[in-house]
Amino acid sequence: MTDSPAVAPKPVSTPVRPSRTRLSRAEKAEVTRTRLFEAAIQIVGEQGYAGASVALITARAGVAQGTFYNYFESRQDLLDQLLPAISEQLHELIRDRVRAAPDDPIARERARLCGFFDFLEESPHLFKILSEGMVQAPVGFRRHLEMQSESYRRAMEYELRRGNLRISDPREIDILTQMLLSTREYLSGRFCYVDGQFVRPSELVVETYVKLLTGRIFA
């Protein structure tokens, strides 16, 4: 009787578990805060500030109502933070558009206006949030205006240093800044919304704006 050949035992393979990247407590908090912000923007855009209750915001964000007060002192605190947060996003988008524009002052100003229209298209709730903000969220509304004015003034001071403006008085720079901002806001209200829906304004709106900037309106 011959012995059977010895069979080597099969190695036991240890299953490789996929690595999981766990969010830190601070990261989780920021995710929750962002969800509350986004929910508030949507609800204010749909129902106005008056309809944006804490209950609706937390339900839309998918968090417990009591969690809301871990991030905001009150409903009004959140509403007053909406416009400044949106203003920062707007600034970043327009800055990217200006950097991509040709090195020409009119091209940069065209990029600012078109960038604003692009932002409205991507963020259709902004117009309602802005139009009601003066009354319903005055703190945030004032901060939004300050941020936009500061940004535009820096842009005009840049053009002044480059010799691209016909004015030099600092008071005129302030007035020019407000004129350009006001024109942008009015054009968006007049040509970007029909029955509450965003409509991309025609190129004629931009071209007429450029004519105004280059002094080609009055004979």
Taking only the tens place, the pLDDT of each residue in 8-24 is 444 444 455 555 567 78
How does pLDDT run across 24-63, given as a tens digit for each residue? 888 888 999 999 999 999 999 889 999 999 999 999 999 9
Q: 79-213 belongs to which homologous superfamily?
A: Tetracycline Repressor, domain 2 (1.10.357.10)
Q: In 3D, which of 47, 35, 44 has the Cα closest to residue 76?
A: 44
Structure token pair of residue 208: 């007429």
Alpha helices in 15-137, H assignment, sequence order:
25-47, 54-61, 75-100, 105-122, 126-136
Please report, for residues 174, 206, 213, 214, the alpha-carbon distance to residue 217 in angstroms, rounded to integers and kept in the order given: 23, 14, 9, 8
Domain ranges of the chain: 26-72, 79-213
Q: 26-72 belongs to which homologous superfamily?
A: Homeodomain-like (1.10.10.60)
d(CA 175, CA 172): 5
Contact 209, 183 (CB under 8 A): yes
- The pTM for the full model equals 0.81
Q: What is the pLDDT of residue 3?
A: 42
